[in-house]
Chains A and B, each alone.
Chain A
Amino acid sequence: MTRSRARRGPWFRREMSAGRFALAMNLPTLVFLGLVLAYPVAYAAYLSVHRVGLAQLRRGEFPFTGWENYGRVLEDPLFWVATKKTLIFTFITVGSEVVLAIAIALLINQAGIWTSRITRVLILLPYAIPPICNGLIWAFLYSFQFGFLNRILFSLGLIDNPVNWAGNPDTALYAVTVPYIWRTLPFAIILVHAALQGIPRELYEQAAIDGANAWHRFRRITWPMLQQIIAVILILRTAFAFAVFEEILAITQGGPGDATWVAAWYSYKITFSPPNNFGMGSASAFILTLMVAAIALVYLRFVYRRVTL
């Protein structure tokens, strides 16, 4: 029956089976994922075990070197500096973002405070700023000679001499965390805010009747209800902070010295500045990917799993 119905009419009118239909619908996605994600990732793995420099690219022959690139990366002191800087950067940005996101989401959730409405309207603004522009704007803010931040501090009488925020090796890494937090905080706030809307009001009303104060209400109701979303934020933000690039390029370019030489910057410099060691660049980028992939698997296994799709 079904077979005969399916065979009637021209091919484009014919009915596909559900399985074939699903496959046909996913063909473009599979092609793109294969071409732009799977193949390049596999190819990066391939490049990372071969010698690939400009000379080899021109000739089109990549001699196999085994683990040599990984060995050279792991022996490079700068790689360990970069790993350390990346971990510090990630720890500071993600930690601050979680705390700030909860605080600000609770703040914009306050009824009857008119300034909260202004904050709520402005909260998404940083999301609209291109990361490279964000970096440059903060480079201008931090500028030693005529930076805006020093001007403000002068006007408030807080400093007497200009401070070189991004040019001092002791403060540079902290200086680049602020723009990054500024740009990526809206995402975290929006998630916490959305989770807050899902907490039934009755819980708070009941708690108030029972005489719980604001801190108790937060500790016993809000915090437990937010844990799931905080796990999501922690994981997503950690994975992305690991690969921070634009703000580093715009503000410090890894400097001063190696003060802000983070992992993505390390891979970028090794690959795209002379002597263009693509093999070693791939190896270092691959190590970065493995770290992020570990985070992604945790996310998939423990956090996204409750999705009922």
Chain B
Amino acid sequence: MFKKTPAERLLLHFANLMVIVFILLPVAAVFIGAIQSEKTLQADTRRLLPLEVTFDNFAVILSRGEQKGRIFEQVTYLPDNIKSFYTALANSTIVAVSVTFLTLLFGSLSAYTIARQRYRWTLFLLQANIVARFVPVIVLMIPLYVVMRAMGQLNSLTGVIIAETGFLLPYAILILAPYFDTIPTDLEEAARIDGCTRLGAFVKIVLPLATPALAACGVIMFIVSWHELLIPLILNARPAFMTLPVVIASLVGDVHVFFNLMMAICLLALAPTVILVALLQKYIVEGLAAGAVKG
């Protein structure tokens, strides 16, 4: 639209370069950290790129600490929790999938009625959800711990799933409600005249039309749940029930901090959501915008 002078173009390219470097800096660090040994890291503290490339960090994690490889063969201490990598991966998957499913199910039921039926209380429910989205996890932690302790749901995946579903439902509703609002009512009304029940019209007519919004909301719910640290950290102390972020957090305060090992496990933990974001970027962008303001 506007002609840019060569100097302006150069400036814009330079600005882009700065942003790209800023975004990729931590990503480069996690890759480089994951493929070398602590010895090499300490041997030369000024060298930018490592001399060696080793996959021993991944091997020791993926073999539950058994296959120590060259770089860990003399190491007498290994953090116990890296041995539960597969359990944590399974737990994270179970929690994230369940939370995604439950928030989509209950969230769409609620969002649909909020968008369609204007009662005083549905409006109030929408406002309650907006305020609920702001509640900091830390304030819920203490009572949730006491409540789950009383219900015998400490150290269980069910407790974590219930807590995360409740915590994320308001966000799901805020993402979905504006979308349901944009779907014209004509089709439902036609279906209702043909004898379809309200629920039938919702399930058969509205939900299929809302697939893009469900995809957007679902992928965001999965990502947030996959990333959630505080809820499983406080509710589940036993290794058998830890999720990946909890296992990773447990390495922080450990006796010995293996940065190379931590970078490797971080890389494994961030890969699923990076792939999701790469594949479903369009939906995430729409969902994030819809959840903040009605687009």
Contacts and interface: CB of A to CB of B under 8 A. Distances in A.
A300 B130 contact: yes
A25 interface: yes
Contacts of B115: 309
Nearest to B197: A15
B12 A116 contact: yes
A229 B292 CA distance: 9
Interface residues of B, number: 112
B209 interface: no
B87 interface: no
Contacts of B251: 136
Interface stretch (B54-62, B77-85, B104-112): B104-112
Contact of B117 (A18, A129, A133, A304): A18
Interface string A132-171: 1110111111010110101110110000001000000000
Contacts of B226: 130
Given A115-B12, A143-B259, A137 B30 contact: yes
Interface residues of A, number: 113
B29 A125 contact: no
B223 interface: yes
A85 B83 CA distance: 37
Nearest to A263: B138
A271 B141 contact: yes
A232 B249 CA distance: 31
Contacts of A229: 293
B187 interface: no
Contacts of A239: 134, 136
B183 interface: no
Given A307-B293, A309-B126, A29 B173 contact: yes
Contact of A47 (B146, B162, B202): B146
A307 B24 CA distance: 37
Query: B interface, by DSSP: helix, strand, loop or mixed?
Result: helix
Given A29-B109, A309-B115, A278 B146 contact: yes
Contact of B248 (A13, A107, A136): A136
Nearest to B16: A115
A272 interface: yes
A110 interface: yes
A130 B169 contact: no
B9 interface: yes
B26 interface: yes
A140 B262 contact: yes
A131 B162 contact: no
Nearest to A301: B127
Interface in A98-116: 103-104, 107, 110-113, 115-116
Contacts of A162: 45
B130 A296 contact: yes
Query: A interface, by DSSP: helix, strand, loop or mixed?
Result: helix
B23 A140 contact: no
Interface centre among B12, B46, B134, B262 (most CB of A within 10 A): B134
Interface of A: 13, 15-16, 18-19, 21-22, 25-26, 28-30, 32-33, 35-37, 39-41, 43-44, 47, 52, 57, 103-104, 107, 110-113, 115-116, 118-119, 121-134, 136-141, 143, 145-146, 148, 150-152, 154-155, 162, 179, 182, 187, 190-191, 194, 201, 204-205, 208, 214, 228-229, 232, 236, 239, 242-243, 245-246, 249-250, 253, 264, 267-268, 271-272, 278, 281-282, 285-286, 288-289, 292-293, 295-297, 299-300, 303-304, 307-309
Given A25-B112, A133-B270, 10 more contacts: A33-B128, A40-B139, A138-B26, A151-B46, A155-B48, A187-B288, A191-B293, A204-B2, A208-B1, A285-B142
18 contacts: A13-B197, A21-B117, A22-B122, A30-B125, A33-B169, A37-B132, A47-B142, A129-B26, A129-B273, A129-B274, A130-B248, A136-B248, A139-B259, A150-B45, A191-B289, A232-B293, A268-B138, A296-B131
Interface of B: 1-2, 4, 9, 12-13, 15-17, 19-20, 22-30, 32-33, 41-42, 45-48, 105-107, 109-110, 112-115, 117, 119, 122-123, 125-144, 146-147, 149, 162-163, 165-167, 169-170, 173, 177-178, 181, 197-199, 202, 223, 226-227, 229-230, 234, 244-245, 248-249, 251-253, 259, 262-263, 266, 269-270, 273-274, 276-278, 281, 284-285, 288-289, 292-295
